């Protein structure tokens, strides 16, 4: 099979995996965060208390090999991507014996075993049932991947090791640099009573930054300029709905595509309402240093009022309140929607669907804009949801830190072999064979920066690793080859006008607004989160559909009475502890 065909063959499954991960991490409410136990400082301290595990040799270091070898047990899921696109195309490789398991054994003297393996994603019912049974039994493997809630339970039950000393001693400079790329948030999420209770596998929050995706062929047809203010966005939306941009003499197009869920990585409203300084579903720091919930701030009311007027004028689908992402993506595919807010991957889905049906359709990402034309803040939710906890009394708690070190070194370090251990052409997700998969938060932005520099120098020979792999995709698309057509979405991300270039500018302009609350849900969140999220969504949809804007004020009162005030108190107790 040619390299071109291999790229395209894996695209749909890889895309679906990415979308699943994104969808699972998006939440309709802002109550899907932070720790409740008294966390300590933002970074691991050296006060570790008693530790009964064996002392390592004095010359033991971040990548020192165990001699004799040791055995370390895990539990894990087996995703469709790994089963079909990796193991399915690499003869002889298994989840227990593969390029990564052999690397850990050869380089570190670590023999990886699995207590159990379950098919599916970490959010699938089958996996969750299995992991919850394991946690409840207390019969843990040496290393367990957990979410924030599960980590809290293990820490409170005294079933896991304090990793502070092991991290400080064994984490390589590269690992420490990667795990602090988003500040201290990842450590805030795993610190209890001043102790580091797990190693966080940092996920990129900046990958979830929002863009305004616009059909530029419609802009050109209607002689409209790209938006620079929110008034421009509304003006373009109105023109797309009223001026027959598809040329069929039927009023059947809409300006802005949104779903009944309102929020999300595709067809969501986070980027739209940010244009009015509204930041729902995240926690913001006010002028006094206290945290406040974005969904109940007055700026949200104004944004809802604008959306209500857009709906009244027919700029929004009159049935959006009953349509999920799949249904709205069908409208995009059919060429009935001209704009949508979403993340950098939206060109791969759902916008590629439109391109497949109409090769003349052209979409481009633009930065989100504000009312005034000033650069707006770009809201980001904390994306790290996977933490590696070590069983109390494990013989070698430092082993997981060494594995983090090696995974990062072999993919992004000085001895990196990216094309072998991360994304070889025949199996671009081979990195997922490793039980730990840390990656630099800025890896995709850095790849764009390298490609962009090579473009400007007209010399691509210096590209290595991920940047080289992506550039090959861009060249395949530019060739006009039939196999490259499906790579249009990649060009819209990493090309000269790509979304990743906007992410680069967001970063350089310091536009990111991070959610200030991370970790496990507070007690009241556990009890009231679902109710509050449901109420918020119902009220916001009703307002957009035409009910009185005063419903927002009533929603704020109800939110506070039904648990919001208690949540806010708990959140601020947590926040004070992290700063204390």
> Tokens 């009223």 correspond to what residue?
242
CB atoms within 10 A of CB 372: 11
What confidence tier does 30 reach under pLDDT thresholds 50, 70, 90? Answer: very low
Which residue range forms the structural domain that includes residue 365?
208-381+515-579
The residue-averaged pLDDT of 202-212 equals 95
What confidence tier does 22 reach under pLDDT thresholds 50, 70, 90? Answer: very low
141, 257: one domain: no
111, 166: one domain: yes
The residue-averaged pLDDT of 252-279 equals 98
From 405, 433, 461, the end of a domain falls on: 433
pLDDT in tens, 186-198: 999 999 989 999 9
pLDDT in tens, 357-366: 999 999 999 9
The answer to the question of residue 473 being in a domain is: no
The answer to the question of residue 65 being in a domain is: no
Distance between CA 526 and CA 530 in Å, rounded? 8
- Residue 12 in this model has a pLDDT that exceeds 70: no
The answer to the question of residue 20 being in a domain is: no
What confidence tier does 36 reach under pLDDT thresholds 50, 70, 90? Answer: very low
292, 188: one domain: no
Distance between CA 324 and CA 317 in Å, rounded? 12
What confidence tier does 40 reach under pLDDT thresholds 50, 70, 90? Answer: very low
Q: What is the mean pLDDT of the chain?
A: 91
Burial-class residue 408 by CB neighbours within 10 Å (0-12, 13-18, 19+).
buried
Distance between CA 58 and CA 431 in Å, rounded? 32
The answer to the question of residue 484 being in a domain is: no
392, 520: one domain: no
Confidence at residue 56, expressed as pLDDT on a 0 to 100 scale: 56
307, 349: one domain: yes
Confidence at residue 493, expressed as pLDDT on a 0 to 100 scale: 98
234, 285: one domain: yes
> Tokens 């924030």 correspond to what residue?
148
Q: What is the CATH number of the domain that holds 366?
A: 3.40.190.10
From 401, 417, 433, the end of a domain falls on: 433
The pTM of the whole model exceeds 0.85: yes
217, 322: one domain: yes
Share of the chain above pLDDT 70, in %: 89
Closest CA to 233 of 316, 159, 137: 316
- Higher-pLDDT residue of 59 and 301 is 301
The residue-averaged pLDDT of 553-560 equals 99
Least confident of 305-309, 327-331, 381-385, 402-406: 381-385
Distance between CA 491 and CA 474 in Å, rounded? 6
The answer to the question of residue 504 being in a domain is: no
Cα dihedral 154, 159, 165, 166 in deg (nearest 10): -90
Confidence at residue 305, expressed as pLDDT on a 0 to 100 scale: 99
Q: Which residues are CB-neighbours of 220 under 8 A, at least 6 positions away?
A: none
CB 34 within 8 Å of CB 189: yes
The answer to the question of residue 28 being in a domain is: no
Distance between CA 409 and CA 428 in Å, rounded? 18
The residue-averaged pLDDT of 82-92 equals 97
Q: How many distinct structural domains can be found in the chain? A: 2
232's tokens:
């421009």
174, 222: one domain: no
130, 267: one domain: no
The answer to the question of residue 451 being in a domain is: no
75, 171: one domain: yes
225, 282: one domain: yes
220, 320: one domain: yes
CB 428 within 8 Å of CB 455: no
- Residue 483 in this model has a pLDDT that exceeds 90: no
The answer to the question of residue 165 being in a domain is: yes
- Residue 19 in this model has a pLDDT that exceeds 90: no
pLDDT in tens, 41-77: 344 433 333 344 445 555 789 999 999 999 999 999 9
CB 517 within 8 Å of CB 34: yes
Distance between CA 342 and CA 347 in Å, rounded? 9
Q: Is 149 helix (H, G, I), strand (E, B) or coil?
A: helix
From 416, 433, 450, the end of a domain falls on: 433
pLDDT in tens, 115-129: 999 999 999 999 999
- Residue 6 in this model has a pLDDT that exceeds 80: no
- The full 3-state SS of 452-476, as one line of letters, equals HHHHHHCCCCCCCHHHHHHHHHHHH
> Tokens 């802002």 correspond to what residue?
30
Confidence at residue 531, expressed as pLDDT on a 0 to 100 scale: 97
What confidence tier does 484 reach under pLDDT thresholds 50, 70, 90? Answer: confident
Confidence at residue 57, expressed as pLDDT on a 0 to 100 scale: 56
The residue-averaged pLDDT of 240-260 equals 98
């Amino acid at each position: 099979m040619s390299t071109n065909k291999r790229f395209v063959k894996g695209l749909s499954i890889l895309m679906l995996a990415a979308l699943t991960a994104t969808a699972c991490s998006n939440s309709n409410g802002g109550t899907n965060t932070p720790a409740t136990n008294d966390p300590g400082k933002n970074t691991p301290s050296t006060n570790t208390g008693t530790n009964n595990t064996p002392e390592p040799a004095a010359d033991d270091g971040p990548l020192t090999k165990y001699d004799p070898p040791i055995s370390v047990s895990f539990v894990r899921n087996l995703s469709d991507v790994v089963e079909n696109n990796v193991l399915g195309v690499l003869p002889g490789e298994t989840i227990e014996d593969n390029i990564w398991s052999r690397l850990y054994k050869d380089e570190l003297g670590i023999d990886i075993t699995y207590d159990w393996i379950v098919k599916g994603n970490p959010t699938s019912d089958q996996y969750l049932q299995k992991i919850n049974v394991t946690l409840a039994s207390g019969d843990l493997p040496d290393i367990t991947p957990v979410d924030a809630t599960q980590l809290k339970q293990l820490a409170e039950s005294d079933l896991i090791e304090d990793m502070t000393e092991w991290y400080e001693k064994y984490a390589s400079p590269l690992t420490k640099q990667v795990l602090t790329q988003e500040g201290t948030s990842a450590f805030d999420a795993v610190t209890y009573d001043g102790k580091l209770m797990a190693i966080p596998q940092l996920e990129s929050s900046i990958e979830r930054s929002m863009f305004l995706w616009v059909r530029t062929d419609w802009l050109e047809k209607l002689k409209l300029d790209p938006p620079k203010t929110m008034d421009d966005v509304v003006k373009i939306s109105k023109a797309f709905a009223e001026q027959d941009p598809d040329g069929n003499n039927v009023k059947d197009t809409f300006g802005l595509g949104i779903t009944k869920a309102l929020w999300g990585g595709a067809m969501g409203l986070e980027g739209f309402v940010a244009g009015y300084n509204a930041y729902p579903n995240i926690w913001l720091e006010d002028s006094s240093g206290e945290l406040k919930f974005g969904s109940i701030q007055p700026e949200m009311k104004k944004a809802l009022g604008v959306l209500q007027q857009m709906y009244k004028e027919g700029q929004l689908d009159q049935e959006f309140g009953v349509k999920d992402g799949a249904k709205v993506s069908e409208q995009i595919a059919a060429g009935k929607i001209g704009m949508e807010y979403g993340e950098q991957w939206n060109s791969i889905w759902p916008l590629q669907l439109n391109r497949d049906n109409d090769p003349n359709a052209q979409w481009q990402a633009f930065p989100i804009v504000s009312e005034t034309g000033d650069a707006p803040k770009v809201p980001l939710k904390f994306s790290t949801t996977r933490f590696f906890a070590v069983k109390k009394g494990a013989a070698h708690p430092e082993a997981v830190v060494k594995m983090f070190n090696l995974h990062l070194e072999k993919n992004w370090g000085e001895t990196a072999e990216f094309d072998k251990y991360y994304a070889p052409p025949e199996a671009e997700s081979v990195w997922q064979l490793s039980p730990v998969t840390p990656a630099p938060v800025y890896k995709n932005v850095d790849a764009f920066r390298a490609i962009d520099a090579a473009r400007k120098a007209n010399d691509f020979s210096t590209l290595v690793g991920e940047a080289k792999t992506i550039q090959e995709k861009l060249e395949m698309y530019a060739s006009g080859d039939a196999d490259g057509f499906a790579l249009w979405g990649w060009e819209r991300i990493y090309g000269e006008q790509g979304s990743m270039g906007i992410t680069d500018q967001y970063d350089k302009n310091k536009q990111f607004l991070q959610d200030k609350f991370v970790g496990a849900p507070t007690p009241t969140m556990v009890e009231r989160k679902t109710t509050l999220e449901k109420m918020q969504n119902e009220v916001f949809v009703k307002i957009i559909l035409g009910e009185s804007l005063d419903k927002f004020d009533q929603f704020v009162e109800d939110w506070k009475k039904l648990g919001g005030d208690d949540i806010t108190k708990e959140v601020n107790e947590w926040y004070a502890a992290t700063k204390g």
